[in-house]
Structure 1
Amino acid sequence: MKKNKVISADDAIALISEGDVVTTTGFVQSCIPEALHAALERRYVETGAPRDLTLIMTAGAGDSKGLGTGRFHHDGLLRKVIAANFGRMPKVAQAAQENRILGYNLPQGVISQLYRACAAGQPGLFSKVGLHTYVDPRHGGGRVNELTSTDIVKLVEVDGEEWLFYTATKIDVAFIRGTSADPSGNLSMEKEALTLDSLAQAMAAKNNGGIVIAQVERIVEDGSLKPKDVRVPGILVDCVVVADTAVNHRMNYGTEYNAALSGEIRVPVTSLAKLPLNERKIIARRAAFELPPNGVVNLGVGAPEGISSVAAEERITPFITLTTEAGAVGGVLASGSSFGSAANADCIIDQNQMFDFYDGGGLDMTCLGMAECDVEGNVNTSKFGGRLNGCGGFINISQNARCVVFAGTFTAGGLEVAIEDGKLVIVKEGRARKFITAVEQITFSGSFARTRGQPVIYVTERCVFELTPEGLELIEVAPGIDIERDILAHMDFRPIIRKPVQMDARIFRDEPMELKDELLNLKLSERVSYDADRNILFLNLEGWSCRTKADIDDLRTVLVDACVRAGRRVNSVVNHDGFKIAEHLYDDYAAMIEYLLEHHYATTTRYATSAFLRLKMQEALSKRGLAPHVFERKEDAHAFLAAHARAFLDSLGDDEDEEEEEETTAA
């Protein structure tokens, strides 16, 4: 007869021994096996056992006030923690900072993928994730204190390239969670918002001879679960604990159950709350201009969360695919206690699979928060202000996305702003500076991004910076903001200032921005004008972003139409000031110019203030054997065009003289 694996939480926890390595599931405040955490805390407080456990976890799993893994703060319970996030268990973080426990802060995706390495009996994981950050052994190896001396991250070279090797830690006990279980331990997750790494964690423990304890909200009859609905098979589960739904098995700490987040129903997008026009929405609105149509996007916690609401409000959700590292694909991303899940999601995949996709370059764009930023463009979100927060999925995501947008207020701690007549007013400045000379810890390396040509911008409520080869450059300023008074006076360094433009005025009006027209290039033709008397086609790409190959195709169509209407070959002048193009698209852009020169242009010239853009454009055009004709000043570009036009007319005159001489000779 099949064994009935359903037991009490206390009986299940009694199976844990001193020194065991325990892993638990959960993402921020969702999918946490709270009944198991509570039972482990209760046993230790009452008996003093088990002691000296090692806790392994990916994302933070708690409310930052003592629930979730925050229950494990009692002295002696933990000996070591390997986690991506410490912020959700502040007392455990404090113990690490005070050298009372060993601690490692590793990237969330790495820990997630290490579960599979453990399950497969592999010694660890090779990854480029973490290079040139605090996880790199040259910068600390992810160790969080002086007590922690053993290296579990090594720098290695494979075929001339640098890699990091992360050592796997064998797992003795896995806490996982599902919705339903049969007496044999088969688990389904129909009411869960996410599936996370439950299967990989269970395999890792089971294949190491350990135990797997699953928390569910109900028991169903053997054989009643459809095979494809079973997310963790009973062969991997040792114990099943039924939890009280209202107390220890809520969907997340703020929501008992939301059928839209589990995928049971779909809700109208119009029913989603609209954000008030404050500093958070200003930041989200500006960042939304970077969204790639038909692209895949990840949004981080904090200010970036607002982009999902802005996308819904602007009716552009169908034209982008929003994702979370926790595994949600599509739909409208949730915020607050539900962060990591999504309403109306297209699908939910396991967390380790999502990080495979991210690490392989699947993300077209990410928008992440920033606690500190320095003159090199480095960003810190992991350790600042005396707090050990942890990197979460930040390193995986920021290093591998094709385009990175960091978003956050310009200062922190009490900042108050207002909008008056479309202008931004700083009512009260924040107490803490975020743009400092050197960040406390490098969670994102600006220099590494520059060497790889990764596009990076930094969006605040009052200005926008861009990472250039020379350093951080101020490229946009909000209307009403004085650069000296409101920006430079509150930075520890002076950024590059060449020709900043005003942030789009639509951002500061409490009305729809018509963002769909912008992202889908529906008004791209308005950037083209033709002077028939001088036979000059003007193309104004100031502030335009070329994010995908489709953007280039749209631009080519608009330019070809304009040239056909002109009825002859035209001379073209292009304004590239404030123009942004994804690194991998320069050759496609040059190919478009080559086509236009072959079929429609007499000549073309362009100008851009950005030295980096001019250099990249020159390289791309030269590779195709085209004369670059890229100038810094508008006047130089027009002077070149005028000279070329005169030379062209002179050549026509010479041709006419030759024809006249030939006719005279013939006569």
Structure 2
Amino acid sequence: MIKANFISAAKAVEMIKDESTLCTIGMTLVSASETILKEIEKNFLETGHPKNITLVHSCGQSDRERGIQHLAHEGLVKRIIGSHWGLQPRWMEMIAESKVEAFCLPQGQIAQLYRSMACGLPGKMSKVGLGTFIDPRFEGGKMNERTKPLNNIVDILHYDNEEYMFYRAIPLDIVVIRGTACDEMGNLTTTEEAMKLEVLPAVLAAKRFGGKVIAQVKTVVANGTINPKEVTVPGVFIDAIVRCDNPMEDHRQTSSWYYDPSYSGQIRVPNNQIKKAEFNERKFIARRGTMELKKGNVVNLGTGIPNDMVGSVCTEEGINDDIMITVESGIYGGQQAGGIDFGIGQNLVAMITHHEQMDYYNGAGVDCTFMGLGELDQEGNVNSTKMGSRCTGAGGFIDITQNAKKVVFLGTFTASGAKYRFEKDKLTILQEGKIRKMVNKVAQISFNGKIAREKGQEVVIVTERAVFKLCKEGVELIEVAPGIDLQTQVLDMMDFKPILAEEIKIMNRELFNKDTIFNLKKILEGK
């Protein structure tokens, strides 16, 4: 009988050599192999090894403190290839200060690249990324001055008279994964994990390059205990297994709690136990945004206002049976958690793997996606990936927005310090934000407005005081909130002059009713 190789975290770290390429699997803190990541950090601080590694990760993998934050040390990591660092302040600081070579690639493309690598291909071709900062004719995903002189890791490929991005294979030396339990042969389950992720493709990608796979588990069970259909990774592909000694701290289901079976599908909770979102400008923006939905829509929620508020609004308004909400992690339906626990949900109707979810987003395209808004310019370009020196990265933003049938951007009109009062039927700006979001030219192109306009993609931008849409000629102002002065509080606060609709409508006054629903179900039925 083949037996699994059970070792200590310290022995596992010895497998990671200087200058090697390490791939970690997780999202936020979900499935983070905290025992192993902490040991890598400890060993580096004590001995200086491993050093100068390349770190590859598809999703943001931290809660501002844990996860791959442990690896954010100058000298430990020479190069990082990832998608999102919004919950990783030390990584954003290192990238901004050019203390590491930093490449940002779309989250879904990295997850799917593992699969391409696993089956022996030299890389992955895709339309995703064209015309954005990932495009090598723009920035090539290079996030700081230290990275700019380096060779590109993406190319432009021409096939059948069409342009594609080509994401080159990244040989992996070590892949670190996490599971709930394994048996004595090493067969691994992810039963209590809150996402399925892209575990097996990454494992097989490592095997293709002769790399090693290290798994962290919470429980070891006897052979024959695990239903074969529940095995996520067969034990023959795992080179070493580290059993977590302190699962309450180092094997948490997510950042905010150790284990809640309603997030991994073992139980369902009554809907009246799900907390109602507090009314503020974020919830108001989400309310107006949901008016863009249609019955039968399959919907995606991005980070920020979309995930934190849109799902809650839909639940309160009783429309969850009229639409299907999804998140890039692969979850369907239910009530989504937000913030540092992004990507998971209670009372789900389905959960698929991360790379399969991106197949849907990249191919058919979701009916409607809600995304955060950083900056908007007169071409309709949106920047939600780099604000000043703060490099949050793309995450799944580019994968999802480029192919969605309808994109609804949600964000405040200004940033940093704005204060509002929502009365029964009007909005009052108590204090303006210090930073303008409506700019002449975005700092980084996360969403290409010109391409969207050329292909007739439906795009709406919702703020607390005004609503815009993209038209052939550019950005058109179509709605303002009651109580807002069009000239002084909208047009004078923009660096560019929008196209004015023939009839600029007043926002639905029912949106301001804090204590009652605004009858979204009737709005959808009337479409």
Structure 1 counterpart of 2:240: 239
Q: 1:255 aligns with which of 257, 267, 275?
A: 257
Structure 2 counterpart of 1:160: 161
Deviation at 1:353, TM superposition (A): 0.5
Structure 2 counterpart of 1:266: 268
Deviation at 1:96, TM superposition (A): 2.9
Higher RCO structure (Cα 8 Å, ≥6 apart) = 2
**Secondary structure, aligned partner of 2:402:** helix
Q: Which one has the bigger helix percentage?
A: 1
Checking the alignment, whether the CA contact within 8 Å between 1:317 and 1:332 is kept in structure 2 is no
Larger Rg: 1
Structure 2 counterpart of 1:113: 112
Deviation at 1:87, TM superposition (A): 2.7
Structure 2 distance, partners of 1:18, 1:276, is: 49
Deviation at 1:241, TM superposition (A): 1.3
Deviation at 1:276, TM superposition (A): 2.2
Structure 2 counterpart of 1:312: 315
**Secondary structure, aligned partner of 2:364:** coil
Deviation at 1:370, TM superposition (A): 1.0
**CA deviation profile, 1:265-308 (whole Å, cap 9, x unmatched):** 11222221112221011111111111231221100111112110
Counterparts in 2 of 1:593-608, with a 5 A limit?
A: none
**Secondary structure, aligned partner of 1:280:** helix
Counterparts in 2 of 1:10-409, with a 5 A limit?
A: 10-65=10-65, 67-148=66-147, 149-243=150-244, 244-305=246-307, 306-409=309-412
Q: Which amino acid aligns with 2:442?
A: V
TM-score by length of 1: 0.77
Checking the alignment, whether the CA contact within 8 Å between 1:255 and 1:337 is kept in structure 2 is no
Structure 2 counterpart of 1:615: none
Gaps of 5+ in 2: none
Structure 1 distance, partners of 2:94, 2:463, is: 34
**Secondary structure, aligned partner of 2:287:** helix
Deviation at 1:99, TM superposition (A): 3.0
Structure 2 distance, partners of 1:133, 1:405, is: 18
Structure 1 distance, partners of 2:82, 2:248, is: 28
**CA deviation profile, 1:148-187 (whole Å, cap 9, x unmatched):** 3111111121111111111010111011111111121111
Structure 2 distance, partners of 1:114, 1:92, is: 23
**2:9 is the alignment partner of 1:6:** no
Structure 2 counterpart of 1:508: 512
**2:498 is the alignment partner of 1:495:** yes
**Secondary structure, aligned partner of 1:126:** strand
Checking the alignment, whether the CA contact within 8 Å between 1:30 and 1:337 is kept in structure 2 is no
Q: Which amino acid aligns with 1:192?
A: E
Structure 2 distance, partners of 1:140, 1:4, is: 45
Counterparts in 2 of 1:500-539, with a 5 A limit?
A: 500-510=504-514, 511-521=516-526
**Secondary structure, aligned partner of 1:154:** strand
**2:418 is the alignment partner of 1:415:** yes
Deviation at 1:437, TM superposition (A): 0.9
Q: Which amino acid aligns with 1:459?
A: V
Structure 1 distance, partners of 2:92, 2:425, is: 43
Structure 2 counterpart of 1:645: none
Structure 2 distance, partners of 1:58, 1:125, is: 14
Checking the alignment, whether the CA contact within 8 Å between 2:262 and 2:268 is kept in structure 1 is yes
Deviation at 1:92, TM superposition (A): 2.8
Structure 2 distance, partners of 1:284, 1:30, is: 26
Checking the alignment, whether the CA contact within 8 Å between 1:292 and 1:364 is kept in structure 2 is no
Structure 2 distance, partners of 1:190, 1:353, is: 18
Structure 1 distance, partners of 2:432, 2:86, is: 26
Q: Percent identity?
A: 43
Structure 2 distance, partners of 1:517, 1:12, is: 58
Structure 1 distance, partners of 2:382, 2:421, is: 27
Deviation at 1:336, TM superposition (A): 2.3
Q: Which amino acid aligns with 2:105?
A: L
Gaps of 5+ in 1: 522-544, 546-667
Between Structure 1 and Structure 2, how many residues are aligned?
521
TM-score by length of 2: 0.97
Deviation at 1:23, TM superposition (A): 0.5
Structure 1 distance, partners of 2:146, 2:468, is: 39
Q: Which amino acid aligns with 2:337?
A: A
**CA deviation profile, 1:80-139 (whole Å, cap 9, x unmatched):** 111001333332333333333222100001101111111112100000000000111110
Structure 2 distance, partners of 1:437, 1:6, is: 58
**CA deviation profile, 1:14-34 (whole Å, cap 9, x unmatched):** 111111111101112322111
